[in-house]
Structures are given as structure tokens and as C-alpha cells.
Amino acid sequence: MALNQTQLTKLKRELDKLYAALLEEVRDALEKSENQQYVELIGREPADSGDMATSDELADLNLTIIDRHVAQIRDIEATHARIKDGSFGVCIDCRGEIGFERLLAYPTAKRCFTCQRQHEKTFAERATPTL
């Protein structure tokens, strides 16, 4: 059963809210990239190697969070393109339907639950933790 108009409207609204929230978070994070805690940590005289390492880690963490948000923003934009071309809600692997409940929980889903689980099993070894 394809998504009905009410379901599609609800999902679009959720995507738009998430998109706006992510954009705001990225803007805030970029504006605060010169955050006072970094400035105080680095600007102290004399700054020891522990302070420098801590400030570097905080900066890296901030960039990692921004990167994750930007990736989510791109996923939302790709989802809007799928909505526009009519492929939203269709699994990219089996071409079956992605259930409304799954889309409600994860509106940018590209795979049905079964295909996503298989995808994660197949590519689990390739995931390399970073940070």
C-alpha cells in the first residue's frame, strides 16, 4: 500500500522541522566555533600541552558534530528529491514499500527494514570508528 496524501504530508512536515532544526544547530555551532571555552583554554598563559590537547579534542568533536548534521541535511534534501520524483517510500534494494511506521521513525530511510538489516550485516565490518 503506497503512502496516502495525509501520511505524505505528515512526513514532509517532520522532514521540514528536522531540516530547520539541523540548519539552526549547524549555524549555531559555526558561530560558536570560536566558543569562549576554547578561547579561555587556549588563551591562558602559559597554556600547557594538556590544555592544548583538550582544546584540540573539543574542536574536533565540534567539527564531527557539524559533519554529522550536514550529512543529515543532505539526506533530507535527497529525500525531498525522492518525494518529488515519486520514489519516496520505495526500497532502493528490493523495490518494495518502506512502511509508514519506519518512515515516521526514520523519514530519510532508503531501505525497508529487512533490506536495511541485511545491508548493516553486510557492511558492518567496514565501519571504522573515528575520533
In sequence order, the 6+-apart residues with CB closer than 8 A to the CB of 77 are: 19
Which domains can be identified in the chain, with CATH numbers? 5-126 (1.20.120.910)
Between residues 31 and 109, the one the model is more confident about: 109
Mean predicted confidence (pLDDT) in 54-59: 57
pTM of whole model > 0.75? no
Above 70 in pLDDT, residue 122? yes
Greater pLDDT, 128 or 52:
128
> Do 115 and 97 meet the contact criterion of CB atoms below 8 Å apart?
no
**Angle, in degrees to the nearest 10, between helices 5-31 and 49-85:** 150
83 pLDDT band (50/70/90 cuts)? Answer: very high
